[in-house]
Amino acid sequence: MPYHRLMAGPIRPARIGLLLTHLGSRAAENLAAKTRELGITPPEAGVVRVLGSRSGVNQRELAEMLGVAKSRVVSLVDSLEAAGLVNRERSTSDRRNQVLMLTEDGRALLAKLSIAAEAQDADLAQGLSAADRSHLYELLLKLDDGVGLERDVRRGVRARE
């Protein structure tokens, strides 16, 4: 049982924040299971998603985007490279930088991750009408835009495209 989920506990939450914690944790575990079926760990999937839209970043930039230590990125990229999903290449202009890019296999895996996310959404939507579903999506986007929770330190880095 993950750390945060233990906090929410088995009691049906009476507030939006607790309910969001509860449902978000369930959704995360569900998506993590689908991710592992594709042969990578959830954090590795995060790296693949970022490189899908931000090709060519170096490891320090990736660490900042993910909000993790640069040493963490080393081991994540190590395994992705060993699996043939990510390419590491020393920059010719500054040989300190490792330029990261998805390989062809990496892009194929990213496509499978997207399909898995779509499948999860179909599962989630089972109890909801189409109208409910799109309304929920809009409300969640509004929540994401809200200033209520202290924003990510790395907010400025978030990809919006």
List of residues contacting DNA (CB under 7 A) = 1-3, 6, 41, 43, 58-61, 67-75, 77, 88, 94-98
Phi, psi of 121 (to 5 degrees): -60, -40
User: Buried b / exposed e across 3-42, counting CB within 10 Å, b at 16+?
Assistant: eebeebeeeeeeeeeeeebbeebeeeeebeebbeeeebee
Among 37, 38, 39, 50, which residue sits at the site for a copy of itself (rule: CB under 8 A)? 50
Contact assessment for residue 70 and residue 60, using Cβ atoms and an 8 Å cutoff: yes
Q: What distances in angstroms separate CA 76 from CA 5, 59, 69, 80, 150, one per listed residue?
A: 24, 10, 11, 6, 28
Helix (H, G, I), strand (E, B) or coil at 98: strand
* Residue 149 binds: one of DNA, a copy of itself, none (C-beta under 5 to 8 A by kind): a copy of itself
Q: Which of residues 58-87 bind a copy of itself (CB under 8 A)?
A: 65-68
Non-local CB neighbours of 88 within 8 Å, separated by 6+ positions? 77, 81, 98, 99, 100
38 binds a copy of itself (CB under 8 A): no
Beta bridge partners of 151: none
* Residue 125 binds: one of a copy of itself, DNA, none (C-beta under 5 to 8 A by kind): a copy of itself
Over the window 107 to 146, marking each residue x when it contacts a copy of itself by CB under 8 A and - when it does not, the resulting string is ----------xx-xxxxxxxxx---xx-xxx-xxxxxxxx
* Site stretch for a copy of itself (CB under 8 A), options 8-16, 78-86, 89-97, 99-107: 8-16
* Residue 70 binds: one of a copy of itself, DNA, none (C-beta under 5 to 8 A by kind): DNA
d(CA 161, CA 159): 6
Q: Which is nearer to a copy of itself, 3 or 96 (CB)?
A: 3
* Residue 88 binds: one of a copy of itself, DNA, none (C-beta under 5 to 8 A by kind): DNA
39 binds a copy of itself (CB under 8 A): no
